[in-house]
């Protein structure tokens, strides 16, 4: 796939789209009004007659709406194919699953790579800075557009989990159950630090051109690849890296005494970096990382996280963390659980044992799958949803 394919996806995605015109602008936390606004989304399964079986999935930083179908750019299975599909824990034979590309993304929802109708050129840095709450507001506009009042479940990991928490805080009466996974109620200093390294790598690339690279027909692919390499390390665990790569050499018997990719881990990271730039826009990377950095749910509620959930006392929560995840740690998950307990919301919490680090939430981890299945089945019973057709 060429870089051009990814860019075309930003304005002409192979997805469903809804366009909100000038009279329905997105009110952003920065004070900006974004209009027109396009939301690109995918759906799976069928919405039932009383519209009570809708599951909204919120994607992570560099994820997109292609949860459970073959990705149009990479040709690979959807990013949560293990979790979502017929007979899967989020069962598309039973639930109507919706996933939209976040505002600020690059897979068809309005973002820096989208053409600004006012100028006929991509927004670039003219795009207002996006927050997690802005992403959730845009999702709520989509859900309104689909005529759905209450979501049976809002689920997501990492940045997607932040959106789940924001949904519970902003629209508690519209969230019957919530599944925030491998996430935090605020971005830690360490996480902001890693994001800043990534952004600086992009901006240090001469082809970034102050964000206006599209006008020059270039892309800062080297900087973006380095950003991805650094970030990718944070998605893994030391144990998994050691188990998978150790100090093994790449297609050679001895060191070359050069700066070639002697080690398998180097080769792996270079591959992660170079394949990422085929599907992702560099400016979009700046915007979505910034959205995570700005996220601090308690800040909107006098610094008291429990107050964020004070109206979510009927929403059933299941918080999940992974014990080897050092990006969004179990301690961060417990802080969410404590706040939910203090708000008297019904909450379950599971720490899944896995050595796969933050990435574990994307993988077919049996305990995670069975927890999710059990949580949703119990919630479906409480919601009065019909059993899965035999």
Partner 1 sequence: MTARVDHIALAEMVQPGARVLDVGCGDGALLQLLAQTRNVDGRGIELSQAGVNECVARGLSVVQGDADRDLADYADGAFDYVILSQTLQATHRPKDVLRDLLRIGKHAIVSFPNFGHWKVRSQLMFGGRMPRNESLPYAWYDTPNIHFCTIADFVRLTQELDATIERSMAFDRAGQKLRVNAPWWAWNLFGEQAAFLLRR
Q: How far is the CB of 334 from partner 1 (least distance, A)?
A: 8
Q: How far is the CB of 315 from partner 1 (least distance, A)?
A: 11
**Cβ-based neighbour number of residue 182 at 10 Å:** 30
* Residue closer to partner 1 (CB basis): 351 or 355: 351
* Residue closer to partner 1 (CB basis): 255 or 381: 381
* Residue closer to partner 1 (CB basis): 151 or 318: 318
CA distance 5 to 228: 19
* Residue closer to partner 1 (CB basis): 1 or 382: 382
Strand partners, 97: 44, 55
Q: Which of 262, 293, 325, 359 is catalytic?
A: 325
Name the CA radius of gyration of the chain, rounded.
21
Asked about 325 being catalytic, the answer comes back as yes
* Residue closer to partner 1 (CB basis): 159 or 345: 345
Tally the C-alpha atoms within 13 A of residue 43's C-alpha that lie toward its C-beta. Answer: 16
Q: How far is the CB of 347 from partner 1 (least distance, A)?
A: 6
Q: Which stretch binds partner 1 (CB under 8 A): 144-152, 268-276, 355-363, 378-386?
A: 378-386
Dihedral sign for Cα 272, 65, 52, 182, please: positive
Selected from 378, 386, 387, 388, the binder of partner 1 by CB under 8 A is 378
Selected from 374, 385, 386, 388, the binder of partner 1 by CB under 8 A is 374
The residue count for binding partner 1 (CB under 8 A) is 26
3-state secondary structure 193-254: HHHHHHHHHHHHCHHHHHHCHHHHCCCCHHHHHHHHHHHHHHHCCHHHHHHHCCCCECCCCC
CA distance 84 to 67: 7
Closest CA to 290 of 127, 80, 110: 127
Asked whether position 248 contacts partner 1 by CB under 8 A, the answer is no
- Residue 53 DSSP SS3: coil
Asked about 114 being catalytic, the answer comes back as no
Strand partners, 319: 349
Confirm if 14 and 5 have CB atoms less than 8 A apart.
no
* Residue closer to partner 1 (CB basis): 58 or 333: 333
Confirm if 139 and 20 have CB atoms less than 8 A apart.
no
Q: Which of 15, 100, 158, 321 is catalytic?
A: 158
Scan residues 318-357 and list those touching partner 1 (CB under 8 A). Answer: 318, 334, 337-338, 341-342, 346-353
Scan residues 270-329 and list those touching partner 1 (CB under 8 A). Answer: 316, 318
Confirm if 285 and 316 have CB atoms less than 8 A apart.
no
For residue 57, how far is the Cα from the chain centroid?
9
Which residues participate in catalysis according to the annotation? 158, 325, 358
Give the interface with partner 1 as residue ranges (CB under 8 A): 316, 318, 334, 337-338, 341-342, 346-353, 367, 370-371, 373-375, 377-379, 381-382
């Amino acid at each position: 796939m060429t870089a051009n394919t990814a860019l075309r996806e930003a304005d002409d995605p192979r997805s469903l789209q809804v366009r909100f015109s000038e009279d329905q602008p997105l009110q952003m936390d920065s004070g900006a009004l974004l209009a027109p606004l396009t939301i690109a989304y995918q759906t799976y399964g069928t919405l039932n007659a009383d519209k009570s079986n809708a599951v909204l999935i919120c994607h992570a930083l560099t994820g997109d709406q292609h949860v459970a179908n073959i990705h149009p750019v990479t040709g690979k299975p959807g990013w949560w194919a293990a979790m979502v599909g017929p007979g899967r824990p989020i069962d598309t034979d039973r639930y109507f699953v919706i996933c939209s590309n976040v505002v600020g993304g690059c897979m068809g929802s309005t973002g820096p790579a989208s053409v600004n109708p006012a100028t006929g050129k991509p927004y670039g840095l003219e795009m207002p800075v996006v927050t997690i709450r802005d992403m959730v507001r845009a999702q709520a506009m989509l859900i309104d557009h689909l005529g759905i009042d209450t979501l049976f479940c809002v689920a997501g990991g990492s940045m997607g989990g932040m959106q789940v928490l924001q949904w519970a805080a902003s629209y508690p009466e519209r969230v019957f159950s919530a599944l925030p996974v491998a996430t935090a109620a605020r971005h830690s200093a360490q996480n902001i630090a890693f994001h800043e390294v990534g952004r600086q790598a992009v901006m240090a690339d001469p082809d970034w051109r102050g964000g206006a690279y599209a006008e020059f027909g270039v892309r800062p692919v080297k900087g973006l690849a380095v950003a991805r390499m650094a970030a990718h390390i944070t998605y893994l665990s030391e144990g998994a890296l050691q188990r998978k790569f150790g100090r093994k050499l790449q297609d050679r018997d001895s060191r070359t005494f050069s700066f070639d990719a002697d080690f398998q881990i180097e080769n792996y990271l270079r591959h992660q970096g170079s394949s990422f730039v085929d599907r992702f826009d560099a400016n979009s990377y700046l915007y979505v990382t910034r959205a995570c950095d700005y996220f601090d749910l308690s800040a909107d509620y006098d610094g008291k996280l429990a107050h964020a959930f004070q109206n979510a006392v009927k929403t059933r929560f299941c918080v999940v963390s992974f014990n080897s995840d050092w990006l969004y740690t179990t301690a961060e998950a417990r802080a969410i659980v404590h706040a939910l307990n203090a708000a008297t919301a019904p909450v379950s919490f599971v720490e899944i044992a896995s050595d796969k680090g933050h990435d574990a939430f994307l993988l077919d981890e049996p305990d995670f799958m069975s927890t999710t299945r059990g949580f949703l089945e119990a919630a479906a019973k409480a919601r009065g949803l019909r059993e899965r057709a035999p």
